[in-house]
Homo-oligomer: A and B are copies of this chain.
């Protein structure tokens, strides 16, 4: 059985709204990084919050392999939009963000803002091995459910 050549639809206000909602509501996501030596992809779960301008941000430890990987190569991918029930997970909207990681030097400045979004992180926010990382959005693939795909720019999302 043959099907349509491309599932990408023209970006419309509904797609932008959905992308912004997925980013606003994310408390965690799947982070893809490159292994520093082998270059193979590695996916791990991280907490997600946002900087004051809405850019995704996380708090990660030097004890986790993704932290060293991002120091060696900041090119990363973030999958946001997690199913929370037993429905078909491929129908649930999700978004893959192509991004570039930057370690923030001024962790203390962001403390209150971060902990307002991730209150449980107060237990370890001040540990010396934990670092705030901002993910500058380069673009995103939005999947609103089976066959509803969009390619978004940073301006579509922020």
Q: Which of A51-100 contact B (CB under 8 A)?
A: 63, 65, 75-79, 82-86, 88-90, 94, 96, 98
Query: Separation in Å of the A66 CB from the closest CB of chain B?
Result: 9
Q: Is the CB of A141 within 8 A of B84?
A: no
Q: Which of A1-43 contact B (CB under 8 A)?
A: 1-4, 6-7, 27-28, 30-34, 39-43
A63 to B128, CA, bound (A): 44
Residues on B with beta carbons closer than 8 Å to the beta carbon of A128: 1-3
Query: Separation in Å of the A84 CB from the closest CB of chain B?
Result: 6
Which of B1, B41, B120, B127 is the one whose CB lies under 8 Å from A41? Answer: B41
Check: A126 CB closer than 8 A to any chain B CB: yes
Q: Is the CB of A76 within 8 A of B44?
A: no
Q: Is the CB of B84 within 8 A of A3?
A: no
Residues on B with beta carbons closer than 8 Å to the beta carbon of A77: 32, 40-43
The oligomer's copy count stands at: 2
Check: A102 CB closer than 8 A to any chain B CB: no
Q: Is the CB of B45 within 8 A of A43?
A: no
Query: Separation in Å of the A52 CB from the closest CB of chain B?
Result: 23
A43 with B27: in contact, given A3-B127, A127-B3 (CB under 8 Å)? no
Interface residues of A (CB under 8 A from B): 1-4, 6-7, 27-28, 30-34, 39-45, 47, 63, 65, 75-79, 82-86, 88-90, 94, 96, 98, 120, 124, 126-129, 141, 143, 146
5 nearest CB pairs, A to B: A32-B41, A30-B30, A32-B43, A28-B89, A43-B79
